[in-house]
Chains A and B, each alone.
Chain A
Amino acid sequence: MTSPTLTIAKKEYRDSARNALFITLAGFMVLLTAVSILVASFSFQAEVAQYNAALSQLTATQRAGAVIPAPSYYPLLMLRGTIEYLEIIGAVLAIVLGYLAIAKEKGSNTSRLLLTRPVSRAALIGGKVLGTSLLILTLLALLEGFIILSITAIGHVAFSSPELLKLTLSFSYTYFYLLFFFCFSAALTLFFKDLPRALLLSFALWLVFVLIIPQIGDTMDPDNQVPGGFFASMHTTQDQQHAIIAQFQNYENFRNALEVSSIEKHYERLVFATLGIKGMYNDKSLGYIMGDKWPDLALLLAFYIAGVGAAFLFASNKRIMASSP
Chain B
Amino acid sequence: MSSSRIASPLRTLIAHELRTLRREGTFSTLLGIFSSVTLFSVFIGWSTRSTTIAIYAATVTTLKAAGVSHIAPNPLLGVSTLSIFNNLIIYTLLVGALLAIVIGHRSFVRDRKSGVVPLLLSRPAGRPLYIAGKLCGISAALLFILFSMFVVSALSTLLIPALHLSGGEFLSLAAFYTVSFLYLAFFAALGLLFGVYMSNESLALLAPVLVWIAVVFILPELSTGQNPVSLLNPVTLAHVPSSGTFFSSARAILSPFSFGQDYTALALHFLRISPGALDFGTILKLLVASTVAGAASMFALQKYSTTADQIA
Pairwise interchain contact A24-B206, C-beta atoms closer than 8 A: yes
Give the Cβ gap from B195 to chain A, nearest Cβ, in Å.
Answer: 13
Give the Cβ gap from A257 to chain B, nearest Cβ, in Å.
Answer: 14
- Those of B147-205 within 8 Å (CB) of chain A: 200, 202-203
For A240, list chain B residues within 8 Å (CB): 59, 62-63, 66
B225 within 8 A of A: yes
A146 within 8 A of B: no
Give the Cβ gap from A276 to chain B, nearest Cβ, in Å.
Answer: 15
Pairwise interchain contact B227-A215, C-beta atoms closer than 8 A: no
For A24, list chain B residues within 8 Å (CB): 203, 206, 210
Q: How far is it, in angstroms, between the C-alpha of A235 and the C-alpha of B72 when the chains are bound?
A: 8
Pairwise interchain contact A248-B242, C-beta atoms closer than 8 A: no
Pairwise interchain contact A247-B242, C-beta atoms closer than 8 A: no
Q: How far is it, in angstroms, between the C-alpha of A96 and the C-alpha of B66 when the chains are bound?
A: 56
Q: How far is it, in angstroms, between the C-alpha of A88 and the C-alpha of B221 when the chains are bound?
A: 15
Q: How far is it, in angstroms, between the C-alpha of A225 and the C-alpha of B236 when the chains are bound?
A: 9
For A230, list chain B residues within 8 Å (CB): 52, 55-56, 75
Known contacts A49-B244, A207-B94; A35 and B222 CB within 8 A of each other:
yes
Q: How far is it, in angstroms, between the C-alpha of A173 and the C-alpha of B213 when the chains are bound?
A: 24
A75 within 8 A of B: no
Tell me the nearest residue of chain B to A84, going by C-beta.
Answer: B228
Pairwise interchain contact A224-B232, C-beta atoms closer than 8 A: no
A115 within 8 A of B: no
Total interface residues on A, CB under 8 Å, equals 53
Range for the number of chain B residues in contact with chain A: 35 or more
Give the Cβ gap from A66 to chain B, nearest Cβ, in Å.
Answer: 22
A289 within 8 A of B: no
> Which of B233, B242, B246 is A219 in contact with, Cβ under 8 Å?
B233
Pairwise interchain contact B235-A219, C-beta atoms closer than 8 A: yes
For B243, list chain A residues within 8 Å (CB): 46, 50
Pairwise interchain contact B203-A80, C-beta atoms closer than 8 A: no
> Which of A32, A49, A218, A234 is B59 in contact with, Cβ under 8 Å?
A234
B87 within 8 A of A: yes
Pairwise interchain contact B72-A42, C-beta atoms closer than 8 A: no
Tell me the nearest residue of chain A to B71, going by C-beta.
Answer: A234
Q: How far is it, in angstroms, between the C-alpha of A81 and the C-alpha of B58 when the chains are bound?
A: 35
Q: Is the interface of A mostly helix, strand, loop or mixed?
A: helix
Tell me the nearest residue of chain A to B54, going by C-beta.
Answer: A248
Give the Cβ gap from A22 to chain B, nearest Cβ, in Å.
Answer: 10
Pairwise interchain contact B72-A212, C-beta atoms closer than 8 A: no
Pairwise interchain contact B235-A203, C-beta atoms closer than 8 A: no
B258 within 8 A of A: no
For B218, list chain A residues within 8 Å (CB): 32, 35
Give the Cβ gap from A27 to chain B, nearest Cβ, in Å.
Answer: 10
B136 within 8 A of A: no
For A36, list chain B residues within 8 Å (CB): 221, 227-228
Pairwise interchain contact B228-A88, C-beta atoms closer than 8 A: yes
B252 within 8 A of A: no
For A214, list chain B residues within 8 Å (CB): 229
Q: How far is it, in angstroms, between the C-alpha of A32 and the C-alpha of B210 when the chains are bound?
A: 11
For B227, list chain A residues within 8 Å (CB): 36, 80-81, 84
- Those of A198-255 within 8 Å (CB) of chain B: 200, 203, 207, 211-212, 214-216, 218-220, 222, 224-227, 230-231, 233-236, 240, 243-245, 247-248, 251
Give the Cβ gap from A52 to chain B, nearest Cβ, in Å.
Answer: 13
Pairwise interchain contact A215-B62, C-beta atoms closer than 8 A: no
Give the Cβ gap from A188 to chain B, nearest Cβ, in Å.
Answer: 16
For A85, list chain B residues within 8 Å (CB): 217, 228
Known contacts A28-B210, A212-B91; A222 and B51 CB within 8 A of each other:
yes
Pairwise interchain contact B55-A244, C-beta atoms closer than 8 A: yes
Pairwise interchain contact A247-B58, C-beta atoms closer than 8 A: yes
For B55, list chain A residues within 8 Å (CB): 222, 230, 244-245, 248
Q: How far is it, in angstroms, between the C-alpha of A32 and the C-alpha of B218 when the chains are bound?
A: 7
B76 within 8 A of A: yes
For B56, list chain A residues within 8 Å (CB): 230, 234
Q: How far is it, in angstroms, between the C-alpha of A218 and the C-alpha of B76 when the chains are bound?
A: 18
Give the Cβ gap from A185 to chain B, nearest Cβ, in Å.
Answer: 13
Pairwise interchain contact B62-A236, C-beta atoms closer than 8 A: yes
A45 within 8 A of B: yes
Give the Cβ gap from B8 to chain A, nearest Cβ, in Å.
Answer: 33
Pairwise interchain contact A39-B221, C-beta atoms closer than 8 A: yes
Known: A43-B242, A85-B228, A87-B229. 12 other contacts (CB 8 A): A21-B206, A42-B244, A42-B247, A43-B244, A50-B243, A96-B206, A207-B95, A218-B233, A225-B48, A240-B66, A248-B55, A251-B47
A-B CB proximity, top 7 nearest: A46-B244, A42-B246, A84-B228, A226-B75, A43-B225, A215-B232, A227-B239
- Residues on A lying within 8 angstroms of B by beta carbon are 20-21, 24-25, 28, 32, 35-36, 39, 42-43, 45-46, 49-50, 80-81, 84-85, 87-89, 92, 96, 200, 203, 207, 211-212, 214-216, 218-220, 222, 224-227, 230-231, 233-236, 240, 243-245, 247-248, 251
